[in-house]
Amino acid sequence: MLVRAAAPADHARLAALFEEMQAYYAVPCPPRPAIEAGLASRPEGAEILVAEAGDALLGFAAFSATYPGPGLAGGLFLKELFVAAAHRGGGAGRALVRAVAAAATARGLGRVDWTADAGDARLLAFYRSLGGSPKPDKVFFRLEGEALAGLGRDPG
């Protein structure tokens, strides 16, 4: 298994993984051309690593830099970690998170943060097995839809 930065040649295979991820979470998915266009035009700093074996993409990790954090240091935020159902339990998820941790360390960053579904005991156990610790004193918020648009229009 190889973990490396995603390249434009990966977009079609990544789009297929994104479709599988959206189905897994039972959320709407845009058409394949829109997914590929999004990959091609993703924002600066939005990084994606892929795990591959042979010609198969096993999974991906999408992350971005954050600043500031504790002690005014930077970190990385792991936005998505997804491994195709056919490859779960084979080490791809661990290899991807290890690569994100290595990227943070190489950049002199002091932490990697992520969210997890509180009701997924298997996932929580996986993250704990990596050395991750839950932060029950933190609450995850999201601003989206009309609330996002309305606040963005509000002159203050």
- pLDDT by residue (tens digit) across 134-147? 998 888 888 889 99
Peptide bond into 68 cis (omega under 30): yes
Q: What percent of the chain has pLDDT over 70?
A: 99
Q: Which two three-digit tokens encode residue 111?
A: 């932490």
Q: Are 100 and 115 in contact (CB under 8 A)?
A: no
pTM: 0.91
Position 41 scores a pLDDT of 97
| Closest by CA position to 94, among listed 129, 118, 54 | 129
Q: Give residue-wise pLDDT tens across range 74-109.
A: 999 999 999 999 999 999 999 999 999 999 999 999
Residue 143 CA: distances (Å) to CA of 21, 74, 79, 117, 152:
22, 23, 15, 18, 10
Position 70 scores a pLDDT of 77
Residue type, 150: G
Q: Are 60 and 96 in contact (CB under 8 A)?
A: yes
Structural domains for the chain: 2-153 (3.40.630.30)
